[in-house]
Amino acid sequence: MLELYGHPFSSYTWKARIALLANNTPHVLKMVDPGHPDNSAFVAVAHPAGKFPVLKDGDTIVIESSAIIEYLALTHPGDAPLIPSDPDDAVAARMLDRVFDNYVMAPTTEIVLAHMAEATDPAVIEGASASLLRAYGWLENWFEGNLLPAHFSLASCAAAPSLFYADWVCPIPDACARVKGLRAELLSYQPVIHCIDEARPYRKLFPPGAPDRD
């Protein structure tokens, strides 16, 4: 049985979990939290920065959500085209994965961390919000001429959690209707609904405060 070390409220855990769920790949979620010190100790050694998710498949340990999805596509393939077979689509999936992680999730995390700091620095929030709006604009333009590879690919696995949380800290403007639409569409799929529902009990812990929706 595959083991995914992570936490139900963690965006990058969602990313790997969506890939597992989309392919009905049997796995267990090994909670990384203060209540499970052995799991936290495992992650602390497995990842150079102690970050999760971490996948354990027998003796094989894979870290970093994108690499986990690449590994699943190779070793536990299913109906979901995690890495599209068309090479151009595979490039698009990998490119969008980087865009969602680096330019949507990263500024979202910056805003969350700013709210967790002893004194919230409004300049950090302003800068990260500007980065998010720029990323939304880039995506909106990209989707004008290109299609997201078919679900669930590496790109949709990265898009779902990053757009979910980004919209909480910096709402996607109406001018970015395609990005807004993609978020809504992703939130309607069972693997994403599963992650959202599993994370619900932790919403009260969301540092800027979780909105009363989704």
Beta bridge partners of 63: 54
CB of 68 to ligand GSH, least distance (A): 7
Q: Which is nearer to ligand GSH, 64 or 110 (CB)?
A: 64
Could you say which of 8, 11, 39, 170 contacts ligand GSH (CB under 6 A)? 11
Strand stretches in the chain, DSSP E: 2-6, 27-31, 54-57, 60-63
Q: Are 32 and 52 contacting, i.e. CB atoms less than 8 angstroms apart?
A: yes
Binding to ligand GSH by residue 52, rule CB under 6 A? yes
Beta bridge partners of 55: 4, 62
Q: Is 201 buried (19+), middle (13-18) or exposed (0-12) by CB count in 10 A? A: exposed
Nearest by Cα to 64 from 126, 133, 5: 5
Instruction: Find the part of the chain contacting ligand GSH (CB under 6 A) among 8-16, 80-88, 123-131, 206-214.
Output: 8-16
Binding to ligand GSH by residue 76, rule CB under 6 A? no
Q: Are 114 and 121 contacting, i.e. CB atoms less than 8 angstroms apart?
A: yes
Binding to ligand GSH by residue 36, rule CB under 6 A? no
Q: Which is nearer to ligand GSH, 66 or 176 (CB)?
A: 66
Q: Which is nearer to ligand GSH, 102 or 137 (CB)?
A: 102
Q: Which is nearer to ligand GSH, 46 or 137 (CB)?
A: 46
Q: Are 165 and 199 contacting, i.e. CB atoms less than 8 angstroms apart?
A: no
Could you say which of 5, 39, 64, 135 contacts ligand GSH (CB under 6 A)? 64
Query: Which residues from 87-106 bind ligand GSH, rule CB under 6 A?
Result: none
> Of all helices (H) and strands (E), which one includes residue 70?
helix 65-75
CB of 179 to ligand GSH, least distance (A): 21
